């Protein structure tokens, strides 16, 4: 199938869904409106709301806050995950000692930490960053840990036979291997950074997309809730496209199709 | 005339402790010397411990008994005089072909600006001058072996250890690689210990062919000198009468071991 054809079909899906939504929320079927506007709003109102946000410019501030929180959560969480993952993989004793605690914290639904973070760090951006960090950290940590432990035996032996010292093995073998595993989880970890930020905002904040949605919900402004969701989706897709670009640059050495490890 | 001995395995025994506490003896009392400038091939049935022996010479494995001497000095730790060509892919997948070759020098502290042109020269001499920017996954199996060869040779090791390096390649590529190896080797005649299961390959390449018995507790059971003229062409040498005679003679010994090896591996499989 050609690209144009595919794109046309993809757009068609959106058009059909939106048309159905508009139709079912305004035209009665068998004397009954299937999507009552109070609960489902309608595409025109939602679109109006989005336009209003962008025209008045209020949305930029919220987008900016969410973006900053996501980036901070991603950077801090990744850094921590890489360092600790690396350390654990190279020190099996440390890994063994902390293993049950790592599993315990990872099993905890992170949302329950949000109130504690809000208590400790206030309603500003840092409580959201903290929530995002707890999500990102574990993804990166497990990937790096696995990546360092599963470095090919032959490649390691080759490094040794070529005369690499422990430090050089670290730099030329363990480190690139760990980073490649981190990058392969890039989509997931960036996604979770955004989730952490938005959920944190939703549970208590003064700005951000999550705050916007929560505010609209508080006054039963369903159009506002949907508008917030659409802006959030677009935001995530844009970030994801950015990640894809970065990934292509960083992982050029990787085979694209179901690679060999 | 005395040529110095590059590698000497002195009654080396290799044993592993199995998971259930038993001790598995892979190689029993192997005695083998490789003189400087000599190309020695080790041939044996699958699972006879020939790669194990190579790892002992490399210092990757410690013998349970006996010793290893490299240029008349006992080997402690890794063998720093040796370059090792692995059977499996051993290139760094995150480095380009050029960087993979240059790293051999960079490790020794050669500045990158000096290492890169030399690496390019080596890539050219293995026939990959135009592929410097490719990553290993963009190269064919044969091309990856060429890069690996350049990576090892750029360090100019005094000894070359090769563990079925052309094993994963198809028959034709193997012969081309064999000729390439002989050409490069001819330039400075390093001591080579070459492990293979392919007797024809061994005779075509080597000065001496050493045969190992089927494992476990395998031993060296034969040592033949190959008096074919050098420089050789692998395609041509196989048509030589002397080649055939030698092949027949060695095969008569090797055949029994190969059958034993198979019998043992099927037997072991049934026992499990």
Note whether B46 and B166 are same-domain residues.
yes
| Cα–chain center distance at A240 | 8
Note whether B251 and B116 are same-domain residues.
no
Q: In this structure, which long-range contacts are made by residues A137-140, counting pairs with CB atoms below 8 Å and at least 24 apart in sequence?
A: A137/A77, A137/A78, A137/A80, A137/A81, A137/A84, A138/A81, A138/A102, A138/A105, A138/A106, A139/A81, A139/A185, A139/A188, A139/A189, A139/A192, A140/A77, A140/A78, A140/A80, A140/A81, A140/A82, A140/A85, A140/A182, A140/A185, A140/A189
Q: Which residues contact A191 (CB under 8 A, 6 or more apart)?
A: A236, A240
Q: Are B107 and A168 in contact (CB under 8 A)?
A: yes
- Residue A255 sits at the chain B interface (C-beta within 8 Å): yes
Nearest alpha-carbon partner for A84 in A172, A167, A166, A144:
A144
| B85-128 pLDDT, tens digit each | 998 889 999 999 999 999 989 998 899 999 999 999 999 989 99
For the question of an ipTM over 0.90, the answer is no
CB atoms within 10 A of CB A101: 9
Q: Are B86 and A246 in contact (CB under 8 A)?
A: no
Task: Compute the mean pLDDT over every residue in chain A, rounded to the nearest whole number.
Answer: 89
pLDDT above 70: residue B1: no
pLDDT above 80: residue A9: yes
Note whether B183 and B251 are same-domain residues.
yes
Q: Which of B113, B137, B156 is at the close of a domain?
A: B156
Chain A CA closest to residue B82: A161
Among B80, B86, B94, beta carbon nearest to A158? B86
A163·B83 Cβ contact <8 A: no
Q: Are A205 and A123 in contact (CB under 8 A)?
A: yes
B151·A180 Cβ contact <8 A: no
- For range B131-140, the mean pLDDT: 92
Give percent of chain B above pLDDT 70: 97
Confidence (pLDDT) at A180: 82
Note whether B119 and B249 are same-domain residues.
no
Chain B CA closest to residue A176: B94
Note whether B179 and B265 are same-domain residues.
yes
| Cα–chain center distance at A60 | 20
| B29-48 pLDDT, tens digit each | 888 999 999 999 999 887 77
| B249-266 pLDDT, tens digit each | 999 888 888 888 777 777
Q: Which of B156, B171, B205 is at the close of a domain?
A: B156
**Contacts with A176 from chain B: Cβ below 8 Å:** 92, 94
Q: Are B214 and B264 in contact (CB under 8 A)?
A: yes
By a Cβ cutoff of 8 Å, what residues of chain B touch chain A? 58, 60, 78, 80, 82-84, 86, 88-96, 103-104, 107-108, 135-137, 151-152, 155
**Contacts with B110 from chain A: Cβ below 8 Å:** none
Confidence (pLDDT) at B114: 92
Note whether B171 and B267 are same-domain residues.
yes
Q: For A41-250, which CATH class?
A: mainly alpha
- Residue A161 sits at the chain B interface (C-beta within 8 Å): yes
pLDDT band at residue B213 under the 50/70/90 scheme:
confident
pLDDT above 90: residue B15: no
- For range A168-197, the mean pLDDT: 88
Between A181-190, A223-232, B79-88, the lowest mean confidence (pLDDT) is in A181-190
| A127-174 pLDDT, tens digit each | 999 999 999 999 999 999 988 888 888 999 999 999 999 889 988 999
Task: Compute the mean pLDDT over every residue in chain B, rounded to the nearest whole number.
Answer: 88
- Burial group, residue A135, by CB count within 10 angstroms (0-12, 13-18, 19+): buried
Q: Which of B101, B125, B156 is at the close of a domain?
A: B156
Confidence (pLDDT) at B47: 75
B78·A160 Cβ contact <8 A: yes
Nearest alpha-carbon partner for B123 in B95, B92, B154:
B154
Note whether B249 and B261 are same-domain residues.
yes
User: How far apart are the two ends of chain B, measured CA to CA in Å?
Assistant: 54
pLDDT above 60: residue B270: no
Note whether B196 and B264 are same-domain residues.
yes
Confidence (pLDDT) at A256: 64
| A48-86 pLDDT, tens digit each | 999 999 999 889 999 999 999 999 999 999 999 989 998
- Which site among A147, A152, A162 would you substitute to test the B interface, given the most B Cβ atoms closer than 10 Å to its Cβ? A162
Residue ranges per domain, chain A?
A: 1-40, 41-250
pLDDT above 50: residue A258: no
Domain count, chain B: 2
Residue span of the structural domain in which B57 resides = 5-81+157-271
- For range B131-158, the mean pLDDT: 92
- Residue A149 sits at the chain B interface (C-beta within 8 Å): no
Confidence (pLDDT) at A60: 93
Confidence (pLDDT) at A17: 95
pLDDT band at residue A110 under the 50/70/90 scheme:
confident
């Amino acid at each position: 199938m050609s690209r144009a054809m595919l794109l046309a079909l993809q757009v068609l899906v959106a058009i059909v869904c939106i048309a159905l939504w508009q139709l079912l929320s305004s035209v009665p079927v068998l004397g009954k409106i299937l999507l009552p506007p109070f609960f489902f709003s309608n595409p025109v109102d939602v679109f109006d709301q989005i336009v209003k946000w962008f025209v008045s410019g209020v949305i930029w501030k919220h987008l900016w806050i969410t973006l900053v929180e996501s980036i901070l959560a991603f950077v801090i969480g990744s850094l921590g995950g890489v360092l600790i993952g690396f350390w654990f993989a190279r020190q099996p004793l440390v890994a063994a000692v902390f293993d049950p605690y790592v599993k315990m914290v990872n099993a905890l639904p992170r949302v329950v930490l949000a109130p504690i973070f809000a208590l400790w760090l206030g309603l500003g951006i840092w409580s959201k960053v903290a929530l995002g960090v707890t999500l990102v950290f574990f993804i990166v940590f497990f990937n790096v840990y696995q990546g360092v432990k599963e470095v090919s035996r032959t490649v390691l032996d080759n490094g040794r036979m070529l005369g690499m010292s422990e430090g050089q093995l670290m730099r030329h073998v363990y480190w690139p291997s760990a980073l490649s595993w981190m990058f392969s989880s890039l989509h997931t970890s960036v996604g979770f950074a955004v989730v952490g930020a938005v959920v944190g905002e939703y549970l208590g904040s003064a700005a951000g997309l999550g705050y916007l949605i929560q505010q609209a919900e508080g006054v039963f402004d369903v159009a506002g809730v949907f508008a917030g969701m659409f802006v959030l989706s677009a935001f995530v897709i844009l970030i994801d496209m950015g990640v894809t670009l970065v990934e292509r640059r960083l992982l050029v050495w990787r085979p694209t199709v179901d690679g060999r490890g | 005339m005395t040529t110095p001995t590059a590698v000497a395995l002195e009654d080396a025994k290799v044993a592993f402790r199995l998971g259930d506490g038993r001790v598995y003896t892979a190689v029993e009392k192997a005695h083998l010397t490789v003189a400087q400038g000599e190309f020695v091939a080790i041939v044996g049935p699958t699972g006879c411990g020939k790669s194990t022996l190579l790892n002992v010479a490399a210092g990757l494995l410690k013998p349970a008994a006996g010793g290893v001497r490299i240029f008349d000095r006992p080997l402690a730790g890794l063998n720093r005089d040796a370059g090792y060509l692995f059977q499996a892919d051993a290139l760094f997948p995150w480095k380009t072909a050029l960087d993979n070759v240059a790293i051999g020098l960079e490790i020794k502290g050669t500045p990158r600006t000096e290492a890169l042109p030399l690496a390019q020269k080596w890539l050219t001499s293995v026939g990959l001058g135009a592929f410097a920017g490719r990553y290993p996954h963009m190269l064919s199996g044969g091309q990856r072996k060429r890069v690996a060869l350049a990576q090892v040779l750029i360090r100019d090791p005094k000894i070359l250890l090769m563990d079925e390096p052309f094993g994963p390649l198809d028959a034709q590529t193997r012969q081309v690689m064999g000729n390439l190896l002989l050409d490069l080797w001819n330039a400075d005649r390093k001591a080579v210990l070459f492990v293979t299961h392919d007797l024809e390959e061994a005779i075509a390449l080597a000065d001496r062919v050493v045969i190992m018995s089927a494992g476990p507790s395998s031993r060296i059971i034969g040592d033949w000198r190959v008096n074919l003229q050098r420089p050789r062409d692998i395609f041509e040498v196989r048509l030589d009468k002397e080649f055939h005679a030698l092949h027949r003679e060695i095969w008569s010994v090797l055949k029994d071991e190969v059958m034993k090896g198979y019998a043992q591996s099927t037997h072991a499989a049934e026992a499990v």
